[in-house]
């Protein structure tokens, strides 16, 4: 693995000092973190630490919201049939479940249908099978969720079937927009909605908020659906800033007090004890929901999220749990196979990309494998497998590189592609594989910077070990929920000497202990860093980058460091 470059935040010292003078309870390290995140005055800190429903924007500020509401209400008043079409990932399935739960509370359930495409047979986006389903059941309104913004041809087909289309999406639009009755997407041209980074389920939530206002129902009645909105935010890795921070914080409150029956059943499969946070959602709940579409069909996830019977919900949740266990085994096996192939490729070391293909790999996990390969070889990565007559793949990028743009330059070799800067999907005929791989390598080599090929750790503040206290930990904890745009603060301590109690534990990990003069020492754990530790001479001063965690053992609570990286000391 490549050595990581440490980027230490350097906010304006004057602003840090002003904040420290204004708030005596915050030390310099905390004030440094706040200023780095734009929280440089009392008003911003108030909104940040106390997110409230009053901070949610008026849904009618979103372009076409009035049109969407009017069309849905017209459908309800005239007894029309509606189809909710959602993507097969967490964001799409939670968006469908959220809108379905609301609509069935104000309209006859017999007239509301949902359709989730088969990941393997239909692929991403509005599918022809989904459109045919809508026509077969006699639907006159088709609502796409977490997809549709680039569905030009599919929108034309829906129109030909005399079905109206409402698009709810949050992905970047193309040069042209589909023909639709209404398009709800804060990223579309001409949309003045103040916050642009909503998840797909977040857009669906704004729609049900607008519908509740139009129906003159108590707006607070829609807040119970925030459990799924928070789940989508944690899963889809959208920034937890602005309105998303409010939605995720309030959604976590619902999850921890009165979650939907199906979501509660899924949580129970993890044997989780204590409060649910965004880390738990991102790394334990989201993979279970996604596993349905990866190994079977994502409609099972929607069935679970809509199920009100605890016994039935428990059965569906266990299905997803088993799918996730199978997914983890496939992920591990395929990642090892891919790494073995790359080690045997003599030309690989000279390349700026990783493009790898095996016709036997499971399509449902190749995106995860691409992310694993980036952990080992930090470069734009595409993992491909056979899918019928085509080769299909998932692509993942590195920080600061526009992957979607690079793939678009190679589009002449592709049948289909889509995505965004950080991730994409693509397909091609087998005969085009070699030309595509060569062209993609050439494009990336011409445009990527050495800086983008170097993994980075962003350090929020440098701190002395003796300044790590429970007061500091509790303030950091109050900064949750953490995620993109609001990551858990990372600290660095320089030129420190591990004590003789430091040792290797298990096969891969290092348990550190650091003495603090005049105080009780502090422990740290560095996962999967045995080789790195053995490469550093004993009795060597080191620099460490870490987050601060609480460790509870036998009823006793202590602070410990979760060490992200360490290196031979570069400071004196």
φ, ψ dihedrals at 184, nearest 5°? -105, 105
Question: Quick check: 172 and 178 in contact, CB under 8 A?
Answer: no
Q: Quick one: pLDDT band at residue 1, thresholds 50, 70, 90?
A: low
Averaged over 313-318, what is the pLDDT? Answer: 98
User: At residue 2, does pLDDT exceed 80?
Assistant: no
Which segment of 33-37, 351-355, 416-420 scores lowest on mean pLDDT? 416-420
User: At residue 365, does pLDDT exceed 90?
Assistant: yes
Q: What is the pLDDT of residue 267?
A: 97
pLDDT in tens, 489-507: 999 999 999 998 999 998 8
- For 351-371, letters b (16+ CB in 10 Å) and e give bbbbbbbeeebbbbbbbbbbe
Q: What is the pLDDT of residue 80?
A: 98
Summary mean pLDDT of the chain: 94
The Cα 325–Cα 337 span in angstroms is 19
Q: What is the pLDDT of residue 452?
A: 92
Averaged over 64-81, what is the pLDDT? Answer: 98
Averaged over 1-17, what is the pLDDT? Answer: 90
Q: Exposed, middle or buried by CB within 10 Å (0-12, 13-18, 19+), for 234?
A: buried
Element (H, E) at 163: none
Task: State both tokens at 456.
Answer: 């980075």
First CA to last CA distance, the chain: 27
Strand 164-168 to strand 141-145: parallel, antiparallel, or no bridges (unpaired)?
Answer: parallel
Q: Compute the chain's Rg from CA coordinates.
A: 25
List alpha helices for 237-283, DSSP H. 242-257, 261-268, 278-280
Reduce the DSSP state of residue 33 to 3 states and report it. Answer: helix
Question: Quick check: 493 and 543 in contact, CB under 8 A?
Answer: yes
Q: What is the pTM of this model?
A: 0.91
The Cα 34–Cα 36 span in angstroms is 5
Q: What is the pLDDT of residue 535?
A: 85
Q: Quick one: pLDDT band at residue 295, thresholds 50, 70, 90?
A: very high
Phi-psi region of 472 (alpha: psi -120 to 50; beta: other; left: phi over 0): alpha
Averaged over 92-105, what is the pLDDT? Answer: 98
The Cα 543–Cα 560 span in angstroms is 16
Starting at the edge strand that comes first in sequence, how are the strands of the sheet with 503-505 ordered? 461-462, 491-496, 542-553, 556-568, 519-526, 509-516, 503-505
Q: Quick one: pLDDT band at residue 25, thresholds 50, 70, 90?
A: confident
Q: What is the pLDDT of residue 98?
A: 98
Q: Which residues contact 90 (CB under 8 A, 6 or more apart)?
A: 231, 232, 235, 236, 286, 289, 290, 301
Closest to 417 measured CA to CA, from 445, 396, 400, 392: 392
Averaged over 249-259, what is the pLDDT? Answer: 97
pLDDT in tens, 179-237: 999 999 999 999 999 999 999 999 999 999 999 999 999 889 999 999 999 999 999 88
Averaged over 137-155, what is the pLDDT? Answer: 96
The angle formed by the CA atoms of residues 406, 328 and 302, to the nearest 5 degrees, is 80
Closest to 197 measured CA to CA, from 223, 170, 227: 170
Q: How many percent of the chain have pLDDT more than 70?
A: 99
In angstroms, the Cα distances linking 158 to 178, 252, 388 are 11, 37, 26
Task: State both tokens at 552.
Answer: 């509870």
Which segment of 126-130, 210-214, 283-287, 532-536 scores lowest on mean pLDDT? 532-536
User: At residue 65, does pLDDT exceed 60?
Assistant: yes
Q: What is the pLDDT of residue 571?
A: 56
Residue 302: half-sphere exposure toward Cβ, Cα within 13 Å: 27
**Tokens 């389920």 sit on residue:** 201
Query: What are 458's strand-pairing partners?
Result: 7
User: At residue 519, does pLDDT exceed 90?
Assistant: no
């Amino acid at each position: 693995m490549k050595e990581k470059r440490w980027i230490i935040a350097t906010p304006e010292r004057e602003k840090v000092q002003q904040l420290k003078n204004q708030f005596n309870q915050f030390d310099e390290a905390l004030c440094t973190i706040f200023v780095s995140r734009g929280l440089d005055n009392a008003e911003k800190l108030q909104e940040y630490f106390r997110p409230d429903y009053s901070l949610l924007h008026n849904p009618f500020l979103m372009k076409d919201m009035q049109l969407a509401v009017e069309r849905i209400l017209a459908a309800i008043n005239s007894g029309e049939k509606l189809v909710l079409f959602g993507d097969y990932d967490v964001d799409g399935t939670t968006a469908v479940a959220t809108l379905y739960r609301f609509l069935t509370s104000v309209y006859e359930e017999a007239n509301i249908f949902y359709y989730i495409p088969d990941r393997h047979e239909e692929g991403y986006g509005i599918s022809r099978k989904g459109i045919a389903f809508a026509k077969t059941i006699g639907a006159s309104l088709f609502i796409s969720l977490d997809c549709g913004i680039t569905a030009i041809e599919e929108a034309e087909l829906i129109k030909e079937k005399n079905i109206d289309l409402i698009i709810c999406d949050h992905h970047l639009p193309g040069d042209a927009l589909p023909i639709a009755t209404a398009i709800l997407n804060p990223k579309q041209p001409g949309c003045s909605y103040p916050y642009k980074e909503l998840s797909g389920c977040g857009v669906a939530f704004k729609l049900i908020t607008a519908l509740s206002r139009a129906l003159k129902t108590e707006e607070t009645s829609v807040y119970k659906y925030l459990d799924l909105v928070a789940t989508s935010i944690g899963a889809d890795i959208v920034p937890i800033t602005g309105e998303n921070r409010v939605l995720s914080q309030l959604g976590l409150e619902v999850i921890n007090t009165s979650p939907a029956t199906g979501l509660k059943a899924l949580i129970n499969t993890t044997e989780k004890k204590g409060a649910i946070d965004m880390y738990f959602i991102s790394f334990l709940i989201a993979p279970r929901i996604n596993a349905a579409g990866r190994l079977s069909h994502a409609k099972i996830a929607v069935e679970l999220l809509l199920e009100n019977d605890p016994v039935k919900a428990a059965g569906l949740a266990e299905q997803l749990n088993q799918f996730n266990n199978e997914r983890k085994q496939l992920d591990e096996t395929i990642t090892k196979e891919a790494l073995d192939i790359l080690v045997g490729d003599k030309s690989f070391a000279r390349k700026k990309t990783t493009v790898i293909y095996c016709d036997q790999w499971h399509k449902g996990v190749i995106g995860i494998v691409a992310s694993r390969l980036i952990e080992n070889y930090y470069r734009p990565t595409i993992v491909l497998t056979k899918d019928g007559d085509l080769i299909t793949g998932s692509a993942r990028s590195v920080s600061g590189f526009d992957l979607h743009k690079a793939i678009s330059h190679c589009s002449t070799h592709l049948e289909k592609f889509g995505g965004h800067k950080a991730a994409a999907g693509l397909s091609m005929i087998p005969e085009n594989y070699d030309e595509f791989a060569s062209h993609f390598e050439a494009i990336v080599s011409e445009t990527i910077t050495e800086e983008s090929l170097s993994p980075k750790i962003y350090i929020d503040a440098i701190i002395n070990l003796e300044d790590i206290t429970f007061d500091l930990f509790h303030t950091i904890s109050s900064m949750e929920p953490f995620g993109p745009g609001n990551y858990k603060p990372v600290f660095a301590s320089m030129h420190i000497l591990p004590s003789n109690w430091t040792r290797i534990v298990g096969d891969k990990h290092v348990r550190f202990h650091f003495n603090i003069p005049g105080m009780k020492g502090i422990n740290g754990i560095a996962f999967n860093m045995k080789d790195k530790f053995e490469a550093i001479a004993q009795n060597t001063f080191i620099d460490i980058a870490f987050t601060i965690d609480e460790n509870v053992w036998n009823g006793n609570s202590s602070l410990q460091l979760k060490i992200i990286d360490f290196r031979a000391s570069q400071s004196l």
